[in-house]
């Protein structure tokens, strides 16, 4: 499969399109064929190692002191499930999804990515039928942030589909003129 990688920190010229092995989903993962991904300020900061002075050393220790540890950038994506692991129960092959990786996992600048079905390690949901892949890929950032904070606060809401709530808030913010999301 093709992926955009970077082996050194720097300007956009450090990005290269290369062929790498297609990932194989583990028991609790889904394999997503990516149709759209985002470019965020976080990706630019990681690529260029442009961190505020106080955070420069801690960030380089986490992401790679001299060279990047994770070679493929990007968190947000939308695509179609191509395969599922043996223990996956929430998703089926052929379904369109959108989501994000965790804060420290990247990899959406590729044709495929494996993501866990559990929200504790990533946020994945079925893509609304009337939204494009490109639009859907831009929505998960708010949901991931909200779910992270809910987890940190240890808030127990067994009947609350928090991802759905955050999606609706984000959808209403980004698409005030759109109607009938479920049609």
Average pLDDT for the chain: 83
Averaged pLDDT, 52-58: 93
Q: What is the pLDDT of residue 156?
A: 64
CB 108 within 8 A of CB 2: no
Helices 140-153 and 162-174, axial angle in degrees (round to 10): 140
Q: Please report which confidence band the pLDDT of residue 177 belongs to, taking 50, 70 and 90 as the band edges.
A: very low
Question: What does the buried/exposed string (b/e) look like for 62-87 if buried means 16 or more CB atoms within 10 Å of the residue's CB?
Answer: ebbeeebeebbbbbbbbbbbebbbee
Averaged pLDDT, 112-116: 93
Say whether pLDDT at 179 is over 50: no
Averaged pLDDT, 11-18: 97
Q: What is the pLDDT of residue 181?
A: 38
Task: Identify which has the larger pLDDT, 139 or 159.
Answer: 139
Say whether pLDDT at 111 is over 90: yes
Q: What top-level class would CATH report for the domain 2-137?
A: alpha beta
Q: Please report which confidence band the pLDDT of residue 165 belongs to, taking 50, 70 and 90 as the band edges.
A: low
pTM of the model: 0.76
Q: What is the pLDDT of residue 100?
A: 85
Residue-by-residue DSSP string for the chain:
-EEEEESS-SSGGGEEEEE-PPP---TTEEEEEEEEE---HHHHHHHHT---HHHHHHHHHHH-SSS-SS-B---EEEEEEEEE-TT--S--TT-EEEEEE-SS----SBSEEEEESSTTSEEEEEPPTTS-HHHHHTSHHHHHHHHHHHHHHT---TT--HHHHHHHHHHHHH-TT---TT-
Say whether pLDDT at 169 is over 60: no
Residue 31's CB is within 10 A of a number of other CB atoms, namely 22
Say whether pLDDT at 162 is over 60: no
Most confident of 117-121, 168-172, 175-179: 117-121
Cα–Cα distance for residue pair 109/83, rounded to 1 Å: 19
Task: Identify which has the larger pLDDT, 150 or 23.
Answer: 23
């Amino acid at each position: 499969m093709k992926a955009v990688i970077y082996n050194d920190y720097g300007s956009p010229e450090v990005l290269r399109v290369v062929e790498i092995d297609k990932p194989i989903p583990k028991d609790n993962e889904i394999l997503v064929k990516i149709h759209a991904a985002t470019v965020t300020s976080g990706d630019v900061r990681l690529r260029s190692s442009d961190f505020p002075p106080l955070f420069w050393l801690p960030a380089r220790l986490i992401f790679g002191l001299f060279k990047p540890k994770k070679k493929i950038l990007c968190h947000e994506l939308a695509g179609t499930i191509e395969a599922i692991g043996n223990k996956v129960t929430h998703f089926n092959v052929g379904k369109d999804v959108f989501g994000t990786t965790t804060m420290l996992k990247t990899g959406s600048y590729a044709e495929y990515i494996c993501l866990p079905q559990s929200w504790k390690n990533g946020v994945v949901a079925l893509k609304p039928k009337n939204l494009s892949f490109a639009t859907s890929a831009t929505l998960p950032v708010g949901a991931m942030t909200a779910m992270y904070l809910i987890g940190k606060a240890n808030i127990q809401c067994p009947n609350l589909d928090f991802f759905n709530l955050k999606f609706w808030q984000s959808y209403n913010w980004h698409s005030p003129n759109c109607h009938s999301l479920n049609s």
